[in-house]
Amino acid sequence: MILTNEFTIREVRLEDAARLAEIYSFYVLKTAVSFECSAPTVEEFEDRIRQTVEKYPYLVCEADNKIVGFAYAGEYNACDSYESTATVSIYLDRFYRRLGIGTALYDTLEKRLHDIGIVNIMAGVAYRKREDIYLAHESYKFHLKMGYSPVTRMKSVGKKFDRCYDLLWMQKKTNGARLKDKNPFRGLLLIPIMILVTVVVFKIAIWLDTNWIQWNTESLGHPFPVFTGFAFMVMPGADIAVCIITIIFSTIRVKRAIMKKRSVWHITS
């Protein structure tokens, strides 16, 4: 599909319901992207729009003189403590995918959510380790690209077309806070740094001994390289201590990262 016109994004209107229901019904009837099994009627869609716009943004994208996609936010949980958390959903006309419309809709939606004080955005993505005819990794990859991190995977909670699908919750912070885990091996960087420091210390010590001070020790009968000697006494011990501490901390971090990954991905099925 090649867009003949640029697309525009605007607020939803009640009269859009029929077209939105048409776009959405494809995903309900033919895919496992949505866990709904029967397509909502136009009236139901109108009700959903009415309810959503009371509190959250609801956007549509127009191109080629028609609506080609929509995205909206919703309540994550009615409890007051969750009021800075919202869910997001997006559906495009299937012939208008991969044109940057999803990105544009989400960018605008996320900005609106930020403006109304939402900090946590949650996307519930239907997921299956192996893609099948009903579900590809499209939504998962799209959310990853948009900066969402997988935080919880609920196994086999959705059953459609006689197959079980997982629900993967992906989260993004509107304040730019990081959700991605830091590299657990980052501490190991200290080892090459320590080797570099040791080399520099020895170079300086040797330079000092040869060019600056020559300690004449009568009993030895020759100058004693006091700085190099000091470096020999201190540096190997410091190096070994740094290596041991770094390896211990890295092992703990890696173990924690593996445990966390297991809890999110349930590697063992």
Kindly state the smallest distance separating residue 128's Cβ from ligand COA, in Å. Answer: 13
Q: Is there binding between residue 90 and ligand COA (CB under 6 A)?
A: yes
Residues with Cβ within 8 Å of 143's Cβ and at least 6 positions away in sequence, in order, are 123, 125, 170
Q: Is the dihedral of CA 155, 159, 164, 168 positive or negative?
A: negative
Render the burial of 40-70: b for 16+ CB within 10 Å, e for the rest: beeeebbebbeebeeebbbbbbbbeeebbbb
Q: In terms of Cα–Cα distance, which of 77, 166, 156 is closest to 125?
A: 166
3 vs 193 by CB, closer to ligand COA: 3
Cβ closer to ligand COA: 155 or 262?
155
145 near ligand COA, rule: CB under 6 A: yes
Name the minimum Å distance from CB 92 to ligand COA.
3
CA–CA separation, 33 and 28 (whole Å)? 7
Task: Give min distance, CB of 28 to ligand COA, in A.
Answer: 11
One character per residue 92-131, x = contact with ligand COA (rule: CB under 6 A): x----xxxxxxx-------------------x-x------
Three-state DSSP state, 120: strand
Query: Which of 109, 31, 99, 41 has its CA nearest to residue 70?
Result: 109
Tell me how many residues contact ligand COA (CB under 6 A): 20
Q: Which residue, 89 or 120, is less far from ligand COA as judged by CB?
A: 89
Can residue 139 be called a binding residue for ligand COA (CB under 6 A)?
Answer: yes
The residue with tokens 């390896």 is 247
Tell me if 32 contacts ligand COA by CB under 6 A: no
Closest CA relative to residue 205, chosen from 230, 182, 234: 230
Q: Which residue, 171 or 198, has its beta carbon nearer to ligand COA? A: 171
Contact in structure between 122 and 170 (CB atoms under 8 Å):
yes
How far apart are the C-alpha atoms of 161 and 71, rounded to whole Å?
25
Q: Which residue is nearest to ligand COA (CB)?
A: 102
Q: Rule CB under 6 A: which of 181-220 touch ligand COA? A: none
Write down the least CB distance from residue 268 to ligand COA, Å: 26
CB of 151 to ligand COA, least distance (A): 15
Binding residues for ligand COA (CB under 6 A)? 27, 33, 89-92, 97-103, 123, 125, 138-139, 141-142, 145
